[in-house]
Amino acid sequence: MSDTGKVWLVGAGPGDAGLFTRKGYDVLQAADVVVYDSLVGDGVLAMVPEGARCIDVGKRAANHTMPQEQIDQVLLDEALAGNRVVRLKGGDPFLFGRGGEELELLTKNNVPYEVVPGITSAIAVPAYNGIPVTHRDFTSSLHIITGHKRAGASYDIDFDALVRTKGTLVVLMGVRSLPDIVAGLTGAGMDAATPAAVLQEGTTAGQRRAVATLSTLEQAVQDAGIQAPAIIVVGDVCELAEQFAWYEKLPLAGCKVVVTRPKELVSTMSERLRTAGAEVLEIPSIATVPFDTNPALDEAIAALDTYSWIVLTSPSGADIFFDALGAAKADVRRLASCKVAALGSGTAKALAAHGIQADFVPSHATGETLGAELAKTAAPGSRILIPRAAIGGQELVEALADFTVDDVATYDTVALEGGLVDLSGQFESGRIFCAAFTSSSGVTAFAKAHPGLDMSLVQAACIGEKTRETANTLGMRTWMAAEPSIDSLLDLIVEQFTASKE
């Protein structure tokens, strides 16, 4: 916290966490206070830093948790208290997001602020549905309109002018007023056969669309069960939706998956799932906490030249080991007599970031496999150092029983509390298809972080037998990958999701 507070108006984008901007993410990670609304995607909410104080201000049609004037005052009060305040808004803060209104009070009181634009649903949602909002064979203009109006009031929209533009019309927040919008456009002379679409929850696993004409759009929306939040698109470009549709062709389109990870790390599993089309809710359920003092590790570092192998079992473990190396005023030259083994590609990448290429990576990323394969590789009489988590399983050490092994704990793993996302409600409603677990400790931490969640509702995709055993013990419904690898776990989720749609 600084003496002088500041406010950032940050656009969270249309829902897909991958569309949240890099600057928005960086600002969010430094926030003392986060003031967020209902249209911020779950994936972005999961990025809110653990130490930030969060204020839910709602802001969904006909259901405002807090009046706008009160939101303005909250931003002012928190900034005057010296906080770094992030006002996190769905889409872009200056496109029907009342960002300008929120700046007025800050400007009046000389409170500094910045605006971080976000990707607007007016562009992104049609794109995810195969609708280019401009196309030179159809139209060269785009017009974005708010469909929101006060109860009982008439629209302050010049429908005649909109019809004359012959451009694509995108109506935000207008699903509840669809009959009035259709009537306004047709009454102003727009052909009732004009192509139109209503697009629900675009860029997320809940994405659905109804494409019809102006005269049949209301019935098409009812038949498809389309609900808010959704946008309306009117114009000839809607004819291209089926031809250009791409999102639903991805194998995991419409699939929402929870992935647990240490909060310090980017999940390889998440990256692979997103590439396959899934909406990934990345929950940082574990934090790694290095020991303040570690005589055993200090002693091992002082005797590095006596080791034949150093075995690192996680990216966090690798980073902590090299931090300790630096604290001892040593560098990578001390490793000249050692070979280094890494448990999996993630750990190998962490090693590479420190200038070390792994000499050995097992065929499967399990402690048992690492130990068994390293035992066949290491020379007889080798001395092996394993700096790792205090809760590390014994399979690795047991497989290396014929060698001299120093198993040195370097950090604890601590379960984090659940974040802003209502996981219980989403598992109960079936919006989340499954949780993907790559370790037994990840399952345990997930359960500790969400004590109110009925674990019998959780479909757990597990990377291996030990992970599955832990999930079964907690009452989850489990599947297990054919092989203990990220590729096999991804194949398992695709297989199960495909089967669920048949």
Give the containing element (helix H, strand E) for 33: strand 33-36
- 335 shares a domain with 404: yes
- The residue with greater pLDDT, 416 or 160, is 160
* Count of alpha carbons within 13 angstroms of residue 250, beta-carbon side: 20
pLDDT of residue 143: 97
- The residue with greater pLDDT, 380 or 284, is 380
- 244 shares a domain with 99: no
**Maximum distance among all Cα pairs of the chain, rounded to whole angstroms:** 89
Length of the chain as a residue count: 502
pLDDT of residue 265: 58
State what percent of residues in the chain have pLDDT above 70: 96
pLDDT of residue 152: 64
Q: Which two tokens stand for residue 349?
A: 């990448």
pLDDT digits (tens, 9 = 90+) for 435-470: 999 888 889 889 988 888 999 999 999 998 889 999
Specify if 1 maps to a domain: no
Neighbours of 26 (CB within 10 A): 10
pLDDT beyond 80 at 416 = no
Specify if 483 maps to a domain: yes
Residue at which a domain ends, from 100, 119, 138: 119
pLDDT digits (tens, 9 = 90+) for 305-361: 999 999 999 888 999 999 999 999 988 888 898 999 998 888 898 899 999 999 999
- 313 shares a domain with 282: no
Among residues 16, 32, 37, 406, the one annotated as catalytic is 37
- The residue with greater pLDDT, 64 or 416, is 416
- 145 shares a domain with 68: no
pLDDT of residue 201: 96
Going by pLDDT thresholds of 50, 70 and 90, the confidence category of residue 1 is: very low
- 84 shares a domain with 44: yes
Q: Answer whether 198's CB lies under 8 Å from 231's CB.
A: yes
Question: Picking from 105-119, 180-194, 407-421, which range would have the lowest pLDDT averaged per residue?
Answer: 407-421
- The residue with greater pLDDT, 220 or 148, is 220
State what percent of residues in the chain have pLDDT above 90: 75
Question: Picking from 60-64, 327-331, 395-399, 486-490, which range would have the lowest pLDDT averaged per residue?
Answer: 60-64
Specify if 49 maps to a domain: yes
Q: Which two tokens stand for residue 118?
A: 């976000």
Q: Which two tokens stand for residue 404?
A: 């001299």
Residue at which a domain ends, from 415, 432, 460: 415
pLDDT of residue 412: 87
Which distant-in-sequence residues (6+ apart) come within 8 Å of 45 by Cβ? Answer: 36, 419, 420, 421
* Residue 349 a catalytic site member: no
> What is the arithmetic mean of pLDDT over 126-138?
96
Residue at which a domain ends, from 119, 146, 164: 119
Specify if 480 maps to a domain: yes
pLDDT beyond 80 at 474 = yes
Question: Picking from 14-18, 388-392, 494-498, which range would have the lowest pLDDT averaged per residue?
Answer: 388-392
> Which residue shows structure tokens 């430094």?
30
Specify if 25 maps to a domain: yes
- 230 shares a domain with 169: yes
Specify if 468 maps to a domain: yes
- 83 shares a domain with 38: yes
- 296 shares a domain with 405: yes
- 300 shares a domain with 266: no
**C-alpha dihedral, 45 to 51 to 55 to 61, nearest 10°:** 0
Specify if 375 maps to a domain: yes
Going by pLDDT thresholds of 50, 70 and 90, the confidence category of residue 150 is: low
- 181 shares a domain with 322: no
pLDDT beyond 70 at 2 = no
- Cα–Cα distances in Å, from 263 out to 34, 69, 259, 415? 18, 35, 11, 10
* Residue 16 a catalytic site member: no
> What is the arithmetic mean of pLDDT over 63-80?
89
The domain that holds 240 is classified in CATH as 3.30.950.10
> Beta strands of 307-403 (E only): which ranges?
309-312, 339-342, 383-389
- The residue with greater pLDDT, 4 or 158, is 158
Specify if 194 maps to a domain: yes
The domain that holds 479 is classified in CATH as 3.40.50.10090
The residue type at 36: Y
- 307 shares a domain with 220: no
Among residues 16, 42, 59, 72, the one annotated as catalytic is 59
pLDDT of residue 288: 82
Domain region containing 367? 291-415
The domain that holds 12 is classified in CATH as 3.40.1010.10
- 436 shares a domain with 402: no
Question: Picking from 1-15, 196-210, 263-277, 354-368, which range would have the lowest pLDDT averaged per residue?
Answer: 263-277
pLDDT digits (tens, 9 = 90+) for 264-299: 555 788 999 999 999 999 987 777 889 999 999 999
- Domain count along the chain: 4
